[in-house]
Structure 1
Amino acid sequence: MSFLSGEPLIDNTTELTEENPPQRASNNAGAGILGTIFLIVNATLGAGLLNFPLAFDKSGGAASSIIIQAILLVFIIASLIILAACSDITKTNSMQDTLAGLCGPKALVICGVCVTIYAFGCCLTFVIIIGDQFDRVLATFYGMDYCHHWFLSRNFITTISCIIFILPLCFFKRLDVLSYTSSIGCITIIYVAWVVIYEGMRTIDYPKPTQVWPKDATQALQIIPIICFAYQSHMTAIPTYACMKDRNIDKFTISATISMLICCGAYTLVGIIGYHTFGTGHVPSDILQGYTDKSVTLAVAIIALAFKNFTTYPIVLFCGRNSLLGLFSPDIEANPTVRMIVTLLWFVASLVIAIFVPDISPVINFLGTLSAIFIFICPGICLVQSVLKRDPSLYLNKNRFFMLFALLTTALGGFAAGFVFVQALEDFRKPEKALVSGLRRDLGASLCV
């Protein structure tokens, strides 16, 4: 999609009116290509990595899953670049401002609310996963009654670890500062992927029987929800691009492409190895929970996943906080006092809810619909609007191609969002709902009683 780096799609976007949000200047100092890759990979790779083996199982085999993933990856990468290019056109630094610059002030409110809700839901999920990982290690190495000790209880461990490792990273005004911690997050997730491969290869009866192709097309499409969840970094794409040292669409294209290929490689490798380790119908929802040994290697991987969420939480909070503040005033986020208060309230609210309402999977499943909207529909709408404002009659062939691609992306997003919503509705109606992490479901009432 480097075709967007040439002649601008809109000629009059620098003009400000009362109906358009104020333009924000781009920053000259910030992350380079490597730092941008770390930010994108860290925002993308996460808990979805552990769900890919089960996704391969549910979708009827690795072959069809890889093919569907490869097809969607083209649109996923293109959408990242489209969002960045449109932010250059509108001279904005967030998804909601970019949409507002192209579609009007109502888009600012709608997108801002969606980004805020989704970001807060993600932060809740991160805290719950952190608690689950510590529970797993303590239950394995100490015993099932570990939380009868207040200093080992889930509430205490989760609260203290989040205050120490997450809260100090949440107050930064610029996203590029988090590129350093993102590099640590990338290393931890690589280690987790290595453990999955290591555990699979050391299994005596590896590989177990698996499907190659699905029984029908409906089964093959079961991979779509996990892809939308696993590749959701579009909400953070524009803020990441805005914090590049050299805000250049060609350099961002390189960063985004390399990042998505790294994620694709990790997801595919873990999916294949994990699927063949347990076999058809026996893959756990969280691949790490399928290993029963008490090795230090596995324990470190479980803790590493918790630390990965420590480094991702601030990135998502950054986007959600800016989106929330942008709903009130475009300049309010520049106020350090307001930013600090909102950050503290956001952090405390997510921590309290995650501790006292640990099973929010029905809400998270429905929020997954927003993933498809951010990945496909928002970039598609941005591209449509930018083309129409420059060439309303679609006189040029390249603009016709852009319009066709935009409509295809938007239609794909509508289908994916609808499919994910229906799947979430079906899961909601089931008598036993899947938890964000399967630890408490697998251990049941025996946990800490």
Structure 2
Amino acid sequence: MILYKTNFLLSIFNLMNAILGSGILGLAYAVKSLGILLYIIMLMGVAGMAFYAITLLLNMCQITGYRSYEQIAEAAYGARGKLVAVICISVHTLGAMVSFLFICKYELPPVVKMFLGIDPCVDTWYTNGDVLTAMVVLFIVGPLAAAKDISFLGYTSGFAMGCMIFCTVLIVLQSSGIPCPLEPSMPDGYWQFMFQKAEEECGADWGELTKESYLADKYDEDLLANFRSNENFVLQNESCSLADPIAEFYHEVPTQSCTSEWISLTLRSAYAIPTMVFAFQCHASVLPIYAELKQPSKKKMQYVSTISIGLVFIMYLLASLFGYLTFKNATGPELFVMYSGYMPDDRLILFGRLMVLICVIFSAPLLHYPCRKALIVGIWGPEYMPGGKDFKWLIWLGTMTFILTAVVLMVIFVPGIKVVFGLAGATVATMLVIIMPAGFYYKLGPEPKDSTTKRINYAVVIAGFIFVIFSVSLLVYDMIKPKHEEHACSIMLDSLKAGEAH
């Protein structure tokens, strides 16, 4: 007998939490990569495809009587189909958890330093991002993930959604208060980092340039009058290391443009659509949520899906567009990094960063559930899941420990969150959102093979594979091509010359 059931509202919270997370912070970079118009069209298409895939999965639940992605895959293509589903679900949910905990790695150290009153340039073992991430997994994610069911996570999901709604409102409100260009009003930490690097790299070529002379040579007096350009800045003889995302943002600031692009197609665009697919991937969590819904029915679960995807779409659109409009072409792969770099001491931004951390920390256990379920069903069988006759705590907790250990190791050693968004979105997320639901329905649907429905699903499968091959090829090329590393010296001198020419 199933003891745990989730009501309609908590199911919406759970599904929204499964969709929403690190994606909201990466989509502003997708706007920069595609341009505003192209991005909106693509986001609508991906959201529609995500809902269509959920509808196919619910139809196949009715056809087969199963409420498990792995069992539907086995019914469609036997043991091979089940193996592919297990691998895709495991890899995707691992990637999603890694992206969530990357945010902890980047955001938690400065938040802890600010709360404890520690100088941002001082590094200790208890403000190290890797250590803090491991502690979060050990003391928060692990205990929540150890539970046998996900019904109680609806309450943490509801709280996490409230946090993310606050962050979306904050991003919209801040867009009108942050000027463009950013450089004249950047904090002292920016000038210390860039001038220090520029002096090291340029040597005698840097000369006696100061913050005041640099700004006066580059910008009009009328523009500088509106900024805090009269503040005195003195370069300190000290080295302050910055997290890579903030250092990358600082390198973008001197060349920031204040115009918005409506359509943009570059090699950088190869990361955009996979990031959107990754952001809407919730399909591994849909069927567990459906299975624990009170009085489950296809119609009720479709209502849950429609409301969840609709609300998340609105939040994604607002956060990404206003995030991009705030920073323009200086927008990076992780949105709150820019706010942290521009307003490192702002209490409201600190609170927003804390809200993001709470959301992603509470999202990790929810994504852990389908990952562990896929591994247990794939290796031992569904009877070893909670409620099954062969359930064993050793397997349940041992699998959890293995998954969370792998996640922490990847957070420590994977180079950055953009790689996770790109590769996971282009491969396993595309499989779960586009290829597999359409392929399974093509095999299991009651319609004849030459029906319009089957032909549409066959075309979707072919288009999905073409997209995977094309995206992965571009991403691999971008990763292996020789990188032209720009230094602070050349960036600032080139932007200075461009400003003088203008």
TM, length-normalised to structure 2: 0.73
- Distance 1:392-1:337 versus aligned 2 partners, 3 A rule: same
8 Å CA contact 1:130, 1:158 repeated in 2: yes
**1:214 Cα deviation (Å)?**
3.8
Give the Cα separation in 2 of the matches to 1:258 and 1:425.
36
Say which SS state the counterpart of residue 123 (structure 2) adopts: helix
- 1:288 paired residue number: 336
- Structure 1 range deviating more: 259-268 or 222-231: 222-231
**1:52 Cα deviation (Å)?**
1.6
- 1:12 paired residue number: none
1:211 has 2:261 as partner: yes
8 Å CA contact 1:75, 1:376 repeated in 2: yes
Task: Map 1:346-385; keep pairs closer than 5 Å.
Answer: 346-355=403-412, 359=416, 362=419, 365-368=422-425, 369-385=427-443
- 1:422 paired residue number: 473
Letter in 1 for 2:68: S
1:146 has 2:122 as partner: yes
- 1:81 paired residue number: 55
Give the Cα separation in 1 of the matches to 2:415 and 2:263.
36
Say which SS state the counterpart of residue 151 (structure 2) adopts: helix
**1:376 Cα deviation (Å)?**
0.4
- 2:82 paired residue number: 108
**1:56 Cα deviation (Å)?**
0.9
The partner residue of 2:135 within 143, 152, 160 is 160
Give the Cα separation in 1 of the matches to 2:42 and 2:418.
25
Deviations 1:172-227 (A, max 9, x none): 222223111111121111122122112112124599420223469x9877631221
Letter in 2 for 1:203: I
- Distance 1:28-1:247 versus aligned 2 partners, 3 A rule: farther
Deviations 1:241-268 (A, max 9, x none): 1111121110111111111111111111
- Distance 1:247-1:431 versus aligned 2 partners, 3 A rule: farther
- Structure 1 range deviating more: 266-275 or 200-209: 200-209
- Distance 1:307-1:430 versus aligned 2 partners, 3 A rule: farther
**1:378 Cα deviation (Å)?**
0.8
Letter in 2 for 1:282: A
8 Å CA contact 1:29, 1:246 repeated in 2: no
Give the Cα separation in 2 of the matches to 1:215 and 1:100.
40
Q: Bigger relative contact order, structure 1 or 2, given CA contacts below 8 A and separation 6+?
A: 2
Deviations 1:79-132 (A, max 9, x none): 012112212322223212111112212211121122222222332332222121
**1:304 Cα deviation (Å)?**
1.8
Letter in 1 for 2:139: I
Deviations 1:364-412 (A, max 9, x none): 643321111100001101211122xx34465xxxxx2321331233233
- Distance 1:44-1:68 versus aligned 2 partners, 3 A rule: same
- 2:215 paired residue number: none
RMSD: 2.7
- 1:92 paired residue number: 66
- Distance 1:360-1:214 versus aligned 2 partners, 3 A rule: closer
The partner residue of 2:357 within 293, 303, 306 is 306
- Distance 1:362-1:345 versus aligned 2 partners, 3 A rule: same
Give the Cα separation in 2 of the matches to 1:258 and 1:158.
32
**1:233 Cα deviation (Å)?**
0.8
Q: How many residues align?
A: 398
Give the Cα separation in 2 of the matches to 1:319 and 1:65.
30
- Distance 1:248-1:113 versus aligned 2 partners, 3 A rule: same
8 Å CA contact 1:175, 1:315 repeated in 2: yes
- 1:255 paired residue number: 304
Say which SS state the counterpart of residue 330 (structure 2) adopts: coil
- 1:332 paired residue number: 384
8 Å CA contact 1:361, 1:433 repeated in 2: no
**1:230 Cα deviation (Å)?**
0.9
8 Å CA contact 1:124, 1:354 repeated in 2: yes
Which blocks of at least 5 consecutive residues in structure 1 are unaligned? 1-24, 395-399, 435-449
1:238 has 2:287 as partner: yes
Give the Cα separation in 2 of the matches to 1:305 and 1:355.
20
Give the Cα separation in 2 of the matches to 1:87 and 1:433.
51
8 Å CA contact 1:31, 1:244 repeated in 2: yes
**1:358 Cα deviation (Å)?**
6.1
- 1:53 paired residue number: 28
8 Å CA contact 2:447, 2:453 repeated in 1: no
8 Å CA contact 1:56, 1:275 repeated in 2: yes
The partner residue of 1:69 within 43, 66, 72 is 43
- Distance 1:427-1:312 versus aligned 2 partners, 3 A rule: farther
- Structure 1 range deviating more: 71-80 or 318-327: 71-80
8 Å CA contact 1:146, 1:153 repeated in 2: no
8 Å CA contact 1:95, 1:238 repeated in 2: yes
1:341 has 2:317 as partner: no
The partner residue of 1:269 within 314, 318, 323 is 318
Give the Cα separation in 1 of the matches to 2:10 and 2:276.
24
- Structure 1 range deviating more: 199-208 or 345-354: 199-208
Give the Cα separation in 2 of the matches to 1:69 and 1:129.
23
- 2:8 paired residue number: 33
TM, length-normalised to structure 1: 0.81
8 Å CA contact 1:375, 1:413 repeated in 2: no
Give the Cα separation in 2 of the matches to 1:133 and 1:139.
10
Letter in 1 for 2:167: V
Q: Which has the larger radius of gyration?
A: 2
- 1:186 paired residue number: 161
Say which SS state the counterpart of residue 21 (structure 2) adopts: coil
The partner residue of 1:228 within 277, 282, 286 is 277
8 Å CA contact 1:56, 1:271 repeated in 2: yes
Give the Cα separation in 1 of the matches to 2:78 and 2:402.
30
